[in-house]
Amino acid sequence: MAKYSALTDNAHDTVKQSPKVGVLLTNLGTPDAPDAPALRRYLAEFLSDPRIVEIPQTLWKIILHGIILRVRPKKSAALYASIWTDEGSPLLAIAQKQQRKIAESLAGRAQVALGMRYGNPSIASALQQLQQNGVRKIIVLPLYPQYAAATVGSTFDALARELTRWRWVPELSFISGYAENDTYLEALAATLREHQAQHGTPQKWVFSYHGTPKFSLEKGDPYYCFCVKTTRQAAARAGLNPDDCLTTFQSRFGKAEWLKPYTDQTLTELPQKGVKNIAILSPAFSADCLETLEELEEENRETFIEAGGEQYHYIAALNDRDDHIRALVEVIEQRL
């Protein structure tokens, strides 16, 4: 009886206290190493997500395990190896810097954990860390400015899956996007102005966003609309001519039609129209990763130059820039 009384007394004390606040930052994720075994594990998790591949799962599992995971890991490993740094995966290294800077800004007000949707550290492990530290309110910030079901929606799925195992579910505040945050837009505009000051004005500014299948838009996913709006608002803040700003979509795979115009096709066509000097950026990525450092910085540069282009400038993601960190902290503070 005494033991039971002590337990209830402790629980009562916990309830009376102001809840400890935790912030969970999430991003897509990364393999543990740039080699085939690590890519096989990572791709198996990533491509098994029904938010990523929306076809009957029984058929997809046969294709995934029978074909894709036998062929793609080795090719993907070579791409990751080309961008791997002494700190490891660029995406993870940058996310950890973002975590540290945000934690410094929120010192004394919230604990900050980092979890990846796929790979390590996982969302489940980050939530468990917060739980062990006595957190009773969690603010979840997926580091995707523009909402998409395949990114933010999938993050919510992973969050809910872990919390179904918890006896005491914490108070939750889930941030489903921050593309319209003024400080975020101003940070984007600042990178455009800085590039212009250093390199001059290109003939075209290409805003390249990660693509999604066209049917996602048709089913009600607002991602395309957020992307178009981000381009328009960032360009206006930077004082750019809207006629010189293009919105395109990259990183498609499979045979289905994806959001258009496609980045690679656009880069092939521009030199034929006399556009040989461009600057390209990808506002959908909060941190540089394979899709920016390899696809945009290297692969698409080659596509543009081979098509007759002459000057190709990649503008880095916002990463851990101070103005970007201020934007993220501002978004979090609105939920504290």
Question: Could you state, in order of their start, the residue ranges of all structural domains in the chain?
Answer: 2-178+324-333, 182-314
Report how far residue 249's alpha carbon sits from residue 263's, in angstroms, rounded to the nearest whole number.
Answer: 5
The predicted model scores a pTM of 0.93
Report how far residue 186's alpha carbon sits from residue 184's, in angstroms, rounded to the nearest whole number.
Answer: 5
pLDDT of residue 16: 52
- Range 2-178+324-333: architecture per CATH: 3-Layer(aba) Sandwich (3.40)
The yes-or-no answer to whether 2-178+324-333 and 182-314 have a common fold is: yes
pLDDT of residue 255: 82
pLDDT of residue 17: 57
pLDDT of residue 253: 83
Report how far residue 146's alpha carbon sits from residue 216's, in angstroms, rounded to the nearest whole number.
Answer: 14
Across 53-183, the runs of DSSP E, i.e. the strands, are 111-119, 135-142, 171-174
Q: Look at the domain 182-314 and name its fold.
A: Rossmann fold (3.40.50)
Q: Which residues of the chain have pLDDT under 70?
A: 1-18
Question: Smallest Cα–Cα separation from 286: which of 194, 184, 212?
Answer: 184
